[in-house]
Amino acid sequence: MGKTVAFLYNDEFQEYDFSPTHPLKPIRLKLTYELLKDYGVFGSSQVKVIPGRLATDGELMLVHAPEYIGAVKKISETGSEPSYAYAFGIGPGDNPAFKGMHEASSLIAGCSIVAIDEVMNKKAEHAVSISGGLHHALRDKASGFCVYNDPAIAIAYATKKYDVRVAYIDIDAHHGDGVQWAFYNRADVLTISLHESGQFLFPGTGFIDEVGIGKGEGFSVNVPLEPGTYDDLYLSAFNSIVPPIVRAFKPDLIVSQNGCDTHYTDPLAELSLTTNAYEKLYAAIHNLAHEICNGRLVALGGGGYQAYQVVPRAWSLLSADLAEINLNNFVPESWQKLCSEKAHTKCPDSLRDRETAPTAFAESIEDKTAHIIVSVKQKVFPYYGLPTR
């Protein structure tokens, strides 16, 4: 079989919309799809676009409490916020109610499940679900723009239906807390999150000593990075920690969360990555999948609050990497026009960043990153029999 990639897409993604002023803008998903389409990626034999479906209540309950799902459904009917909504994390702020919230959220979870099936049933070598990656939702609570935790649901579904060991690799700027807690006491799911330290950024978790409990001890790995961490330092941390642990764990499937709020222009976080780092990270995870688990890789979206300037470019590079397609650096004019109309400002004409990110306080961040790498190795590597130096 060739390098086939299943790309999950539904026009209904636009309905996961908290409000016109909310930072999580669903237009980013449409613009990613349109950019790949204008590049001709969907006309290639390597990539097939398939629709997702709504997750069933039973699938949602692999991670979420029945009373929470019931509350989301009830709130979803009118989009109003009854007095009990806030107890479930829904209300003014990060997760305002909206009509159709349950269906929009279930579709995202269902897309991530379909992505699992595509890969596990060998219909595709890899699958991309850009609407997914909503990694903050907890068992009984919405959190951080996330109503249902599609990565956790998809992983729980994979372990139950296919009896597989799963490595979850999260490169969002924010700690993948909801996924971590869902599997914190399990040895069949390895969660690895590289993120801006919880000392500085929501959700305030993801410290090095969060390693799992009981049977799960050693299977939760956190790499909390300093604000301002730039490409070379981030890549050094990733390459020092992630491949050795994933190789030792020997997963049957890798699920990656590819939030691009790590970009140096992102308004909600303070890391300093460019698309140059993204391409290297995507390739590294892709290569690990081929090396360790016969290519089985499900790639999800995640955060990213430069909806016009960054997200479509980042996830187009992700999709192209998995399909092993080289994209011209000049962004098609048709897409530039569409994007600029939506953004009411000029959109990028270059797929990759031309400039490098600012590296203020580079020396102090360099020393701190080296210390973080050593600390993570000392804390986690012994569980895998790996050398800590």
pLDDT in tens, 155-180: 999 999 999 999 999 999 999 999 99
Give the per-residue pLDDT at 363: 76
Residue 316 scores a pLDDT above 60: yes
Q: Taking the complete model, does pTM exceed 0.95, yes or no?
A: yes
Give the per-residue pLDDT at 361: 66
Q: Which residue has the higher pLDDT, 376 or 358?
A: 376
Average pLDDT over the chain reads: 97
Residue 372 scores a pLDDT above 60: yes
The active-site residue, picked from 136, 174, 195, 286, is 136
Amino acid at 108: I
136 has catalytic annotation: yes
Q: Which fold has domain 5-384?
A: Arginase; Chain A (3.40.800)
Give the per-residue pLDDT at 360: 64
- Please report the DSSP string for 111-173 in residue order: HHHHHHHHHHTTS-SEEEETT---TT-BTTB-BTTBSS-HHHHHHHHHHHHH---EEEEE-SS
Give the per-residue pLDDT at 1: 40
pLDDT in tens, 206-220: 999 999 999 999 999
Q: What is the mean pLDDT of residues 179-194?
A: 98
Give the per-residue pLDDT at 3: 64
Strand locations in 18-83 (E): 47-50
